[in-house]
Amino acid sequence: MARESARDDLQREIARRRTFAIISHPDAGKTTLTEKLLLYGGAIHLAGSVKARRARRHATSDWLAMEQERGISITASVLHFDYQGFRINLLDTPGHSDFSEDTYRALTAADSAIMLLDNRKGVEAQTEKLFSVCKRRRLPIFTFVNKCDRVGADPLQLIDDVQKELGIRCFVATWPVRRRGEMVGVYDRLASQVRLYEKGTDHGQSRPDARLVELDDPELVELLGEDEHARVSEEIELLEIAGEQPDWEAVASGEASPVYFGSALTNFGVDVFLERFLDQAPAPVPRESSQGVVDPVAEPFSGFVFKVQANMDPKHRDRVAFVRICSGRFQAGEEATISRTGKSLRLAQPQEFMARDRSFSEEAVAGDVVGLHDRGSLRVGDTVALENEELNYPGVPRFSPEHFARIHLDDPLRRKHLDRGLEHLAEEGTILLLFAPSITGPVPIVGAVGKLQFDVLLDRLDREYGVDARLEMLPFHCARWVQGPEAAIEKTASAYGRRQVEDTDGLPMILFDSEWALQRAQQDDDQLRYYDEQPTGIAVKA
């Protein structure tokens, strides 16, 4: 009986978990929406626009010094809070394409995603890339059309564009209600009511007063005017007659997305979106592993590392591994095993995070994200489990870079500091550290998906390791991991416009100065296999 009771308790705790990521194109308002969700959840008491109020405070989830200075998200942040009985694990991700790899890693730890769109721009290039990652994992996607406090595209046209460009069915969950072009509320389709908001004077720092009225309420007719009220009523009637009907089963399978309209800046529509999202978003679901599907309620504990962050506390130069718990209950003091190395790992008391700020938690269960102090034994993609050394969850993909540079250090006395910094940042995934053979020994080369990653590299080397370094850009534009006979690899890499290197695991790679050179190499020698993801993970042939 005691065992059944413990399982029931665990099942209830897991059922109230919501672990999700927010994805968007840069400047769609993602970090602002994140702060407003924290505001409604009571995790913070005042919120402010990242750009308009940058002089007064920076975004809660942007904690790196460079993020605060530039007003952009560079690294994924983990944020925990409770709201209306739910335990929320929110993964705020970078929107800029140069940091997309960090977003991909965060999505492997999520059970659902919020896709944020700018109501003036709709689907943009980065939105498509991130959506494709969600689609591959069949993640349920909830769409929030932001910036509806401003004049934007026609809502129906925007929904049509999402369906055509992303290939996903969409149905309206809330609809914008306007008066003389100004947003005053939203129509909640599920409740068949209009939620009206009082515009505050604090630039959206606090929750606005709101009240519910029926669509045919005389108060709403008087507020909007007869013409505007008739227009809104006709739009809603059209949605019911000709629009997609709510289909939550299709949402759960990643085949349809509910669309909500609102403004993260003014908080209009955020409350109803959060309530509906938490009701409909999935609790932790079973996960594929090397030993079949693992149920989240199954004991014992297991999870995987999806992110490593060095120097979250600059005073102590700590290193934190973020673990997504996939099954069971995390209990401090137990001895787990790292499947990649077979080494034991003592599970310290789990740490919860509000960006950089952290606290110790009494318990953690499947669906939660916890931080473990790490001295270098863990890396991104590692599976950690109790009583099961053979268990492995699918690896977190590591993509090939597109920009390359040789790093130079004018002060040779700082070489050890440079090496340590490069090692730590490579383990995080900030850069890909490569080594090219030379007469004097291996030459370090840094690779990045986007050039802004190089700015982050130099900035963090300076701030966190006291290293003043400079970069010499190299004339290569793509790279592939390569497998095959060593002689064939050396022959292929010796051609003009190519260079052979190794990653930190000793796996061979070839750098190419153009896509044409890569294609020519693939045609010339069928003994070699090329991968644009590290072969130790889920290899995808180029």
| 40 vs 157: which has the higher pLDDT | 157
Confidence of residue 46 (pLDDT cuts 50, 70, 90): low
Average pLDDT over residues 485-500: 92
Average pLDDT over residues 450-478: 88
Predicted confidence (pLDDT) per residue in 246-264, tens digit: 999 999 999 999 999 999 9
Per-residue pLDDT, 181: 85
In angstroms, rounded to a whole number, what is the distance separating the alpha carbons of residues 305 and 515? 33
Average pLDDT over residues 455-479: 89
Per-residue pLDDT, 25: 77
State what percent of residues in the chain have pLDDT above 90.
Answer: 42
Phi-psi region of 223 (alpha: psi -120 to 50; beta: other; left: phi over 0): alpha
Please tell me the CATH superfamily of domain 403-531, with its number.
Answer: Peptide chain release factor 3, domain III (3.30.70.3280)
Instruction: Tell me what the pLDDT averaged over the chain comes to.
Output: 83
Predicted confidence (pLDDT) per residue in 282-296, tens digit: 999 999 999 999 999
Give exposure, 44-74, as e/b (b: 16+ Cβ within 10 Å).
beebbbbeebeeeebbbbbbbebbeebebbb
Predicted confidence (pLDDT) per residue in 108-123, tens digit: 899 999 999 988 888 8
Tell whether the model's pLDDT for residue 344 goes beyond 60. Answer: yes
Predicted confidence (pLDDT) per residue in 397-439, tens digit: 677 788 899 998 888 899 999 998 888 888 777 778 888 876 5
Question: How far is the CA of 223 from the CAs of 80, 174, 183, 236, in angstroms?
Answer: 39, 19, 12, 18
Tell whether the model's pLDDT for residue 446 goes beyond 50. Answer: yes
Tell whether the model's pLDDT for residue 175 goes beyond 50. Answer: yes
Tell whether the model's pLDDT for residue 66 goes beyond 60. Answer: no
DSSP string, 227-249: HHHHHHHHHHHHHHHHSPPP-HH
Per-residue pLDDT, 421: 87
Fold identical between 20-77+84-280 and 403-531? Answer: no
Per-residue pLDDT, 55: 35
| 537 vs 347: which has the higher pLDDT | 347
- Taking the domains of the chain in order of start, what are their residue ranges? 20-77+84-280, 287-385, 403-531
Per-residue pLDDT, 440: 62
Confidence of residue 234 (pLDDT cuts 50, 70, 90): very high
Per-residue pLDDT, 386: 92
Structure tokens at 508: 């061979």
Per-residue pLDDT, 336: 92
| 15 vs 6: which has the higher pLDDT | 15
Confidence of residue 314 (pLDDT cuts 50, 70, 90): low
Per-residue pLDDT, 74: 40
Average pLDDT over residues 27-31: 80
CB count in 10 Å sphere of residue 227: 8
Structure tokens at 372: 């473990």
Confidence of residue 97 (pLDDT cuts 50, 70, 90): low
Confidence of residue 11 (pLDDT cuts 50, 70, 90): very high
In angstroms, rounded to a whole number, what is the distance separating the alpha carbons of residues 134 and 131? 5
| 504 vs 263: which has the higher pLDDT | 263
Confidence of residue 62 (pLDDT cuts 50, 70, 90): very low
Confidence of residue 18 (pLDDT cuts 50, 70, 90): very high
Whether the model clears a pTM of 0.85, i.e. scores above it, the answer is no
Structure tokens at 20: 């999700």
CATH topology of domain 287-385: Rossmann fold (3.40.50)
Per-residue pLDDT, 429: 72
Ramachandran angles phi, psi of 446, nearest 5°? -105, 135
In angstroms, rounded to a whole number, what is the distance separating the alpha carbons of residues 151 and 439? 62
Structure tokens at 78: 């983990």
Please state the separation of Cα 311 from the chain's center in Å: 20
In angstroms, rounded to a whole number, what is the distance separating the alpha carbons of residues 394 and 389? 15
Dihedral sign of CA atoms 265, 269, 274, 277 in order:
negative
Identity at 63, one-letter amino acid code: W
Average pLDDT over residues 462-480: 91
DSSP string, 321-375: EEEEEEESEE-TT-EEEETTT--EEE-PPPEEEETTEEEE-S-EETT-EEEEE-S
Average pLDDT over residues 495-509: 90
Confidence of residue 520 (pLDDT cuts 50, 70, 90): very high
**Closest to 338 in 3D by CA, of 347, 329, 330, 348:** 347
Tell whether the model's pLDDT for residue 54 goes beyond 50. Answer: no
Per-residue pLDDT, 67: 46
DSSP string, 86-121: EEEEEEE---SGGGHHHHHHHHHT-SEEEEEEETTT
Q: Which CATH number fits domain 20-77+84-280: 3.10.129.10, 1.20.1250.20, 3.40.50.300, 3.90.1310.10?
A: 3.40.50.300
Question: How far is the CA of 129 from the CAs of 96, 248, 343, in angstroms?
Answer: 11, 24, 37
